[in-house]
């Protein structure tokens, strides 16, 4: 699905290339297209359960068991974080994703989303607070305590 969305974004960008005026960076223009496409997908998306098929290695050593355990914990945390992010409003989720995963600056996010920089700061702060509250509610804050260490 992500590959399909990326392809759709690049097709939209290619078709709209004549509309690019160079007033902003090309990457910001492209992110804006992706941001709008993401919002469109999020509005109509139907949640489908994800199935993961685990493969068990034939030879298990103590080190490989530790590695497997570590990977399971990371995957569990990642899945929980994704579930919590999915409960946030779409714009909050997009803002957090752009800032923390795509490492976009506040100014770039403002340009992408069409908001002011101050609005982005407020949205980021509120989104982090919402996410923190959700994390505290899940598993009685155990995961949050580990992140704060």
pLDDT at 54: 61
pLDDT value at 56 more than 70: no
What token pair was written down for 55? 């493969």
For the chain, the structural domain boundaries read 1-48, 58-149
Report d(CA 115, CA 95) in Å as an integer.
11
pLDDT value at 51 more than 70: no
Please state, rounded to an integer, the average pLDDT across all residues of the chain.
81
Report which of 96, 79, 81, 78 is spatially closest to residue 38, judged by C-alpha positions. Answer: 96
Q: Of 35-39, 67-71, 89-93, which gets the smallest average pLDDT?
A: 67-71
Domains 1-48 and 58-149 share a fold: no
What token pair was written down for 74? 């990371």
pTM value?
A: 0.54
- Assigned architecture for domain 1-48: Orthogonal Bundle (1.10)
Q: Mind giving me the DSSP string for 68-102? A: HHHHHHHHHHHHHHHHHHHHS-HHHHHHHIIIIIS
120-127: average pLDDT: 95
1-21: pLDDT as tens digits:
678 888 888 899 899 888 888
- Assigned architecture for domain 58-149: Orthogonal Bundle (1.10)
């Amino acid at each position: 699905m992500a590959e399909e969305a990326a392809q759709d974004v690049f097709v939209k960008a290619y078709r709209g290339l004549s509309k690019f005026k160079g007033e902003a960076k090309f990457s910001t223009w492209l992110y804006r297209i992706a941001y709008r496409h993401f919002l469109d997908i999020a509005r109509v998306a139907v949640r489908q359960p994800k199935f993961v098929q685990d493969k068990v290695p034939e030879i298990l050593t103590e080190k490989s068991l530790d590695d497997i355990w570590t990977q399971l914990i990371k995957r569990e945390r990642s899945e929980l974080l994704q579930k919590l992010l999915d409960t946030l409003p779409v714009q909050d989720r997009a803002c957090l994703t752009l800032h923390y995963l795509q490492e976009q600056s506040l100014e770039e996010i403002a340009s992408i989303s069409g908001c002011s920089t101050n609005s982005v700061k407020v949205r980021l702060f509120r989104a982090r607070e919402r996410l923190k509250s959700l994390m505290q509610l899940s598993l009685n804050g155990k995961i949050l305590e580990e992140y704060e260490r």
